[in-house]
Chains A and B, each alone.
Chain A
């Protein structure tokens, strides 16, 4: 892509720059991992809505805070794609991303991610308070340095510890309103933190070959599918009572508790389905991981419905 020569028949138009950029706007949006962003934005919004004093917050500042969470999430995603471009290129699921596909230069993606990170943290500080900006910066740093650069390629516990990065948004939303971090946002953090491993390992069970080819030590690669199924059940067992904590500490009412209990039982049912999947001797699925796919899909609904229930409970029943 360094052709600067004029083609015959191009008239007098100006020569192209030495390295011309063939990316489309959609490629830059893809760098932001919009699907991940949607869940991050939603959990951040719930953290903001349930915080005491949210009703008195200027709507412009509230919208800006959510925008900052979204942009920061995208920025971290872009830096992650820059760092992981080598393993993305060998994994089927990620090979068509803009960097491994050659549509965006790695350096440009890194610059994009860094600038968006700085802009989102600065804007959060201007619009809300220093606590929200600090937690936002911490979440980006955790995802980039702790998960992407340190843990992901070194330990099968990568997603357990790294999952903390995705658990920050409700804390940030809360801090944007109150300027502090108390017990309730820490409980919301813990719920997302414990939800992440069974959610991600359900995906890793059927994307096992991809991770193995790329040399990423996901649990199904290092400990095998059977142990991964067991771990999914263990985390689901922990998640069920943990999701009741907002009710136990008196922050949410009975409607939330009922929804959380039903969702917790359902998650456990899906997790047991993964454990009991028809398997070979190594624990590899003989059903194309149908239960793991179902568990993964349900886990997305789980977090969405649980957080929506908390927001509705607080706004409609506890007001």
Chain B
């Protein structure tokens, strides 16, 4: 792997990690709100 390829690899890996973090946060929020909605509905 050349230095340029390494830079590209690390940039892409950082992008994927940030995307996974955002998805996990969104999932936590979704579970929270779905749970609250079901509680309020009495389900």
Q: Is the CB of A58 within 8 A of B40?
A: yes
Which of B6, B19, B36, B37 contacts A16 (CB under 8 A)? Answer: B6
Q: Which of A124-146 touch B at CB < 8 Å? A: 126-127
Task: Say if the beta carbon of A231 comes within 8 Å of chain B.
Answer: no
Q: Is the CB of A7 within 8 A of B2?
A: yes
Majority-rule SS of B interface residues: helix
Q: Is the CB of A24 within 8 A of B6?
A: no
Task: Say if the beta carbon of B28 comes within 8 Å of chain A.
Answer: no
Task: Say if the beta carbon of A22 comes within 8 Å of chain B.
Answer: yes
Task: Say if the beta carbon of A9 comes within 8 Å of chain B.
Answer: yes
Which of B13, B30, B37, B40 contacts A21 (CB under 8 A)? Answer: B13
Chain B residues near A123 (CB-CB < 8 A): 30, 34
- Report the interface size for chain A: residues with CB under 8 A from the other chain: 22
Q: Which of A71-121 touch B at CB < 8 Å? A: none
Which of A16, A21, A60 contacts B1 (CB under 8 A)? Answer: A16
Q: Is the CB of B16 within 8 A of A23?
A: yes
Task: Say if the beta carbon of A25 comes within 8 Å of chain B.
Answer: yes
- Report the interface size for chain B: residues with CB under 8 A from the other chain: 19
* Contact flag A23-B34 (CB < 8 Å), given A7-B1, A7-B6: no
Q: Is the CB of B1 within 8 A of A3?
A: yes
Task: Say if the beta carbon of A64 comes within 8 Å of chain B.
Answer: yes
Q: Is the CB of B15 within 8 A of A24?
A: yes
Q: Is the CB of B16 within 8 A of A60?
A: no
Task: Say if the beta carbon of A245 comes within 8 Å of chain B.
Answer: no
Chain B residues near A67 (CB-CB < 8 A): 30
Q: Is the CB of A60 within 8 A of B12?
A: no
Using a CB–CB distance below 8 Å, which chain B residues touch chain A?
1-3, 6, 8-9, 12-13, 15-16, 19, 30, 33-34, 36-38, 40-41
Using a CB–CB distance below 8 Å, which chain A residues touch chain B?
3, 5, 7, 9-10, 13, 16, 20-25, 28, 58, 60-61, 64, 67, 123, 126-127
